[in-house]
Amino acid sequence: MTALLEVQGLQKRFPMGGGGMLPCRRAAPSFLHAVEDVSFTLRAGETLGLVGESGCGKSTLARLLARLLDPTEGSIRLGGQEIGAIPAKRFGAIPATRPGAMPSTRPGAMPPRAAIQMVFQDAEGSINPRHTAFEAIARPLRQLSRLSGAELRTRVERTAALCGLPAELLGRFPHQLSGGQKARVGIARAVATEPALLVLDEPTSALDVSVQVVILDLLRSLQARTGAAYVFVSHDLNVVRLLCDRVLVMYLGRVVEEGAAETLFAAPAHPYTRALVGAVSVPGRRKGEERVRLSGEPRSPIDPDPQACRFHGRCPIGQDLCARAAPPVHELPGGRRVACHFPLTAGAMAAA
């Protein structure tokens, strides 16, 4: 089966400004390397988790994939069509050119913006406060699916029902809705056009645990129904574990490990993944038990040394070599990849 989404050598660098206004005071421009050389593929109906600490580039990567940001380099192919080169500014205005050109869970023509949708972390801040829930869900349908009148109303109501929003809430404004209901509106708006790819940026991190479960259940049942692929960004590994088939672990812009969620959590191959998995808190665990502590602070993402592992300095097993050479990517069985000089799965390596 061919991949729905193919990402190859994706890179995003933000210029940091070169100093003063006068030419003589201008230093060489420096760059913040937010996303470095990221490659992966995603099949329809699959969920990929993106995890890492704040500042590791997971949200930047999500925005690149949702085509809200332009990559510095690299390609993003959706259903075989290159979309990475289309400027993000124009991306939303591209009409459905050829019938069936963009992959969708629904047969028929669809503009690229309708095929990729995003759910934002802050449902409160990402919904227009002057729009009712109905209007929030209707807008993408009106603009991208060219629906109006009774047809539009039916579609909005059907989508809302699918997302567990009672019809009587559709006339309400965001401030009249609870946190869980706002999260549902954010999801309903994103799935209204029946996208093939849904990018979710920490969709439950602002919710209480009692509501979080309901939203995760909703996301899973929607996926079973529509067959959409999910990219799920989260810093909460306990949540990622619940929803994701595969996981990319990022550290300072680079993917340090990739693998099936279950095996990656059970036997992390990268020392950073191990630290991340070990740091997860568990109710009922006794004090200080097996929590892994990382010393030090992450390096600066601005003009990083290309000849060193970015985890060097915080890595509990780092050696001199790590400061002199960027780590190679080892391919392990089961589609697993790890970028480390000294991966923790010596046995698995030998078997491969």
- List contacts with other proteins (CB under 8 A): 53-54, 178-180, 208-214, 216-217, 220, 235-239, 241-243, 265, 275-276, 279-289, 291-294, 297
Nearer to other proteins, 209 or 350 (CB): 209
Token pair in block for residue 176: 């009249």
Consecutive H or E run containing 22 = none
Nearer to other proteins, 289 or 320 (CB): 289
* Least spacing, CB of residue 20 vs other proteins, in Å: 20
* Least spacing, CB of residue 142 vs other proteins, in Å: 32
* Least spacing, CB of residue 278 vs other proteins, in Å: 9
Strand order in the sheet with 197-201: 116-119, 197-201, 229-233, 47-51, 246-251, 254-260, 336-339, 329-332
Token pair in block for residue 118: 């995003």
Identify the residue whose tokens are 């690149």. Answer: 64
* Least spacing, CB of residue 221 vs other proteins, in Å: 10
Torsion from C-alpha of 112, 63, 190, 259, nearest 10 degrees: 100
* Least spacing, CB of residue 242 vs other proteins, in Å: 5
Question: How many whole angstroms separate alpha carbon 67 and alpha carbon 36?
Answer: 17
Nearer to other proteins, 133 or 144 (CB): 133
Nearer to other proteins, 70 or 236 (CB): 236
Consecutive H or E run containing 225 = helix 209-226
Consecutive H or E run containing 91 = helix 88-91
Nearer to other proteins, 54 or 307 (CB): 54
Query: How crowded is residue 308: how many other Cβ atoms within 10 Å of its Cβ?
Result: 18
* Least spacing, CB of residue 114 vs other proteins, in Å: 28
Question: How many whole angstroms separate alpha carbon 101 and alpha carbon 109?
Answer: 6
Nearer to other proteins, 111 or 180 (CB): 180
Query: How crowded is residue 349: how many other Cβ atoms within 10 Å of its Cβ?
Result: 15
* Least spacing, CB of residue 216 vs other proteins, in Å: 6
Nearer to other proteins, 138 or 239 (CB): 239
Nearest Cα residue to 312 out of 291, 297, 333, 330 = 297
* Least spacing, CB of residue 77 vs other proteins, in Å: 31
* Least spacing, CB of residue 206 vs other proteins, in Å: 9
Nearer to other proteins, 35 or 243 (CB): 243
Give the angle 303-233-164 at the CA atoms, nearest 5°. Answer: 155
Nearer to other proteins, 51 or 269 (CB): 51
Nearest Cα residue to 62 out of 16, 120, 113 = 120
Is 170 in a helix, a strand, or coil? coil
Q: Is 313 left (phi over 0), alpha (psi -120 to 50) or beta?
A: left
